[in-house]
A and B are shown apart, each in its own frame.
Chain A
Amino acid sequence: MNLTLHVWRQAGPDAPGRMVRYEAADISPDMSFLEMLDVVNERLMQTGDSPIAFDHDCREGICGSCSLMINGVAHGPNPGTATCQLHMRSFADGDEIHIEPWRARAFPVVRDLVVDRAALDRIIAAGGFVSAATGSAPDGNATLIPKDTVDTAMDAAQCIGCGACVAACPNGSASLFTAAKITHLGLLPQGQPERLQRARRMVERMDIEGFGGCTLYGECQEACPKMISIDTITRMNRDFLRASMTPVRAAVAESD
């Protein structure tokens, strides 16, 4: 199949960028979207052009590296998949495809389609963990957890931190990402002692990083390659508001 690509090219973080048109001829419908870009890049290099920079790693939808806005849709048209799981058969011969990086102030462009998503790491570092010396692995089922609770926690734990929720959100909010971790740890018994402090610290960090607020458009859960539900955001709001109601003295004591 023959395609016309419009790709965001930007030489560096402070360089001006623009959409550049490329003809992608003889593309196999069985290629993944990233393999198609590999082919385009190989041809670019043969003609002495610089290849299109894009993030990728596992190419099986579990690492969260790939991050492309394809025709205005995060990770492309198919639900519940990352860009690497999108195949060219989802497009028609002769299609024009616009490829852009995630757009958010908190995700500065590094080069072309690569953005710096360290802001998400800093949200996790603010409280998205259980700070306890755990020793060696405990016996299986030593701590009993209801099956429904485990399932909900694991649905949230599927988050791969790709940032599609931010990219798809009209507000540029990282609420689904933050809420997924708060839900994952907040449902499990190991996460209980730090539950409210975690919600407060992670939400504070999310605000500091310059992400937008959540208006509950619902675009994030549709963009999410792991189909994480906005139910997690309800849970984050509840934990954050409860943490905000906690008396100041107790809050200081728990945070230090």
Chain B
Amino acid sequence: MNRALALWHSSIGKHAVMAVTGVIMVLYLITHVVANLLIFQGPSGINAYSRFLHGTGGALWIARLVLLVAVVLHIMAAVQLTNRRRAARPVGYAAGRQPQVSTLASRTIRWGGALILVFLIYHILHFTLGTVHASFVEGDPYHNVATGFRNPLVVVFYEIAMAAVGLHLYHGIWSSGRTLGVSTPSPRPLRRQLALALGVLVWLGFAVIPLAVFAGMVPA
């Protein structure tokens, strides 16, 4: 316990917590995006998957609990590290610090993360609880998705959030390996093919659905 606390109190330890919880969430996102694409098979595919998940009983709640703990730890570490960053440079540069090689993804990781949190809350209210959904039917995800993107504002919000998720993964997947010390040395250390591939695939997989629904390609 003391060792775990000591680790949490160190800056590298907090980043390691962010990396591990991030990897857990990325693994979940991969299953999520693959399952989402079942929507294009018609009502049978995705509703059967939904029934399968709800039929697992306790396993679904264990998965939800793991994800909740991961989200909470990820955010706690992020907030504390951001406070540490603010304290580390109380007086900034008058001419501005000019970024040389850092990616847009790395520079937007905090605000992007905050946006994703807002999206996450909306998304759960939208498709899990149905609170903000106009015609939510419990246990019929096909119907909920097919009727859930009629408002163009909702589509735009989803698209912006999915772009943020893609950028977040592009930096997060790559930096997790380095934070945990498992990446191999590279003559071009900023190169990140795996993170690029996963980031683009997850982004496109999620981003296509609201657009397809709005375009009428998923009949209600």
Contacts and interface: CB of A to CB of B under 8 A. Distances in A.
B93 A103 contact: yes
A83 interface: no
Nearest to A173: B88
Interface in A208-254: 210-219, 221-223, 229-231, 233-242, 244-245, 248
Contacts of B109: 215
B89 A241 contact: no
A230 to B, nearest CB: 5
B189 interface: yes
B186 A231 contact: yes
B57 interface: no
A72 interface: yes
B54 interface: no
Interface stretch (B6-14, B58-66, B159-167, B202-210): B6-14
A73 B100 contact: yes
Interface string B86-121: 011111111111111111001101000000000000
A204 B175 CA distance: 21
Q: Interface residues of A toward B: which range?
A: 35 or more
Interface stretch (A28-36, A127-135, A164-172): A164-172
Given A104-B88, A171-B88, A203-B10, A213 B186 contact: no
B82 to A, nearest CB: 9
Most central of B10, B11, B174, B178 by chain A CB within 10 Å: B11
Contact of B181 (A6, A104, A219, A235): A235
Most central of A213, A217, A229, A233 by chain B CB within 10 Å: A213
B93 A237 contact: no
B185 A231 contact: yes
Contact of B175 (A216, A229, A231): A216
Nearest to A209: B88
Given A217-B106, A231-B185, A241-B12, A222 B90 contact: no
Contacts of A210: 87-88
A210 to B, nearest CB: 6
B2 interface: yes
Interface string B175-205: 1011111110110011000000000000000
Given A214-B15, A216-B106, A73 B179 contact: no
B207 to A, nearest CB: 26
B84 A212 contact: yes
Contacts of B2: 248
A105 interface: yes
Interface string A51-95: 000000000000000000101110000000000000000000000
Interface residues of B, number: 49
A112 interface: no
A240 B11 CA distance: 11
B74 to A, nearest CB: 14
A28 B66 CA distance: 65
B178 A216 contact: yes
Interface in A170-203: 170-173, 203
A98 B189 contact: no
Interface of B: 2-3, 6-7, 9-16, 81, 84-85, 87-103, 106-107, 109, 171, 174-175, 177-183, 185-186, 189-190
25 contacts: A6-B94, A6-B95, A8-B94, A69-B95, A72-B97, A100-B95, A171-B88, A172-B85, A203-B12, A207-B11, A211-B11, A212-B11, A213-B14, A214-B12, A215-B81, A216-B171, A216-B175, A217-B107, A218-B101, A219-B99, A219-B102, A237-B181, A238-B180, A241-B13, A245-B3
Interface of A: 6, 8, 19, 69, 71-73, 98, 100, 103-106, 152, 168, 170-173, 203-204, 206-207, 210-219, 221-223, 229-231, 233-242, 244-245, 248
Given A213-B11, A218-B189, 10 more contacts: A100-B95, A103-B89, A103-B92, A103-B93, A105-B87, A215-B15, A216-B178, A231-B185, A238-B182, A244-B10
